[in-house]
Amino acid sequence: MRCFGDGDPLYEAYHDDEWGVAVHGDRALFERIALEGFQSGLSWITVLRKRPAFRAAFAGFDPELVARFDEADVARLLADAGIVRNRAKIEATVANAHALLVLAESGRTLDDVIWSHAPAAPGRERPATWADVPSQTAESMALARELKSLGFRFVGPTTAYASMQACGLVDDHLAGCRVVVAR
């Protein structure tokens, strides 16, 4: 039994192999934060289907390359039907690349920042229903606050929590789901 994704091979693979699995490394985490920001207000499957186009449009989410994007790149992205064409989200992704580089210059990593907000896992039971899954937590509020203080944009507590789910900081697969996730 899957708690979501049945019937769509792409969504099933995401559920089985990615969602809730620990993600490390600044580039991978930058991509997840960007995609969660683009998902805001949309269904995740929409963004998942567009992920290859996002990767092409945003130079494989290489923060050094994305940080160099200028207004011509923003215009190019706004014309790219393969991605979600939202100026605020595009500009936030470019700004987040800048913030990530500044963070690295200070000797810190995005990996360290994000994973420092992982809640204690032992003893936590999986939620019984989707109604039991929070949209934000104290940890996601703290993560959003820290990311914003570091210059990241489009990272409110709800987006931060979705990122925490996607990157394996929390395991919100429902009780009875066949997926076993190790942190």
**Residues recognised as catalytic:** 14, 36, 44
> Three-state SS across the chain?
CCCCCCCCHHHHHHHHHCCCCCCCCHHHHHHHHHHHHHHCCCCHHHHHHHHHHHHHHCHHHCHHHHCCCCHHHHHHHHCCCCCCCCHHHHHHHHHHHHHHHHHHHCCCCHHHHHHCCCCCCCCCCCCCCHHHCCCCCHHHHHHHHHHHHCCCCCCCHHHHHHHHHHCCCCCCCCCCCCCCCCC
Q: Residue 156 and residue 95: Cα distance in Å, rounded?
A: 15
How crowded is residue 160: how many other Cβ atoms within 10 Å of its Cβ? 28
